[in-house]
Amino acid sequence: MPGLRAVLFDLDGVLTPTAALHMRAWERLFAPWSRARGVEPYTDADYFSHIDGRPRYDGVAAYVASRGVDLPWGTPEDAPGDGSVCALGNRKDELVNRMFAEEGIEPYPGSVRFLDAVTAAGAAVAVVSSSRNTPTVLAAAGLAHRFDVVVDGNVAATEGLAGKPAPDTYVRAAELVGVPVRDSVVVEDAVSGVAAGRAGGFGLVVGVDRGVGAEALREHGADVVVTDLGELGADLLEAARGGTR
């Protein structure tokens, strides 16, 4: 079997530790909202069950529905608040951008080593993220120049691509780097993301366990699970397509 020729990276929790920052932003949004509504308190388990890896508004809708609350969807132009799904999502965006500015962003050293290794070996690379903040995060982390192809929440909205766990954004990234999905690697830390890789028929799906659990990542489609991408090298590209499934 030919080797794998492209590596498609999720951003938050894979290249940068912004997943932890996003988790805290979601807690700041939903802990007071849940108290005010008199519903079951928000916990980190809700992040992994309803929010992780999904487009922002979809995550809001899933969490709100889990608490039996019916909110109108609204529009992306809604002011940050709590009167609609979009208003809540925009409030979360406001919170997380403030945190980016205050705390800064450093990429995972192991992820940078893996990125260096696969690019030196000649693999095409891309970022695939549900976040609309992807350009800001890549720039702040000093990684923007490393990726000519970025398929993020902004691209998905413009092109009408379904978000994860649908495979559409990863498939689009493979198209843009010019490598078939069967010859491409998906690297994800979210169950929705590894499910997207499995659904898209990608050659290999790598799960990075940042807290969701190795078993959950495997159950949803990961062929290989690591706790840090520094555990892997460019020899991963020699894996037979789908050989570990």
Q: Write the pLDDT tens digit of every residue in 137-187.
A: 898 899 999 999 999 999 999 999 999 999 999 999 999 999 999 999 999
Q: Where does residue 4 rank: exposed (0-12), middle (13-18), buried (19+ CB within 10 A)?
A: buried
| C-beta separation of 204 from 4 below 8 A | yes
Residue 242: is its pLDDT beyond 60? no
Domain with CATH 1.10.150 in the chain: 20-103
Q: How far apart are CA 38 and CA 227, in angstroms?
A: 37
Q: What is the mean pLDDT of residues 218-237?
A: 95
Residue keyed to tokens 């994800």: 188
pLDDT band at 2; cut points 50, 70, 90: low
Active site residue 12: yes
Lowest average pLDDT, out of 52-56, 143-147, 185-189, 211-215, goes to 52-56
| CATH fold of 20-103 | DNA polymerase; domain 1 (1.10.150)
| C-beta separation of 121 from 237 below 8 A | yes
Answer whether CATH 3.40.50.1000 is correct for domain 6-17+106-238: yes
Q: What is the mean pLDDT of residues 17-37?
A: 92
Determine which one of 10, 52, 78, 183 is catalytic.
10
Domain with CATH 3.40.50.1000 in the chain: 6-17+106-238
> Per-residue pLDDT tens for 69-97?
999 999 999 999 999 999 999 999 999 88
Instruction: Say what the pLDDT of residue 104 is.
Output: 78
Active site residue 148: no
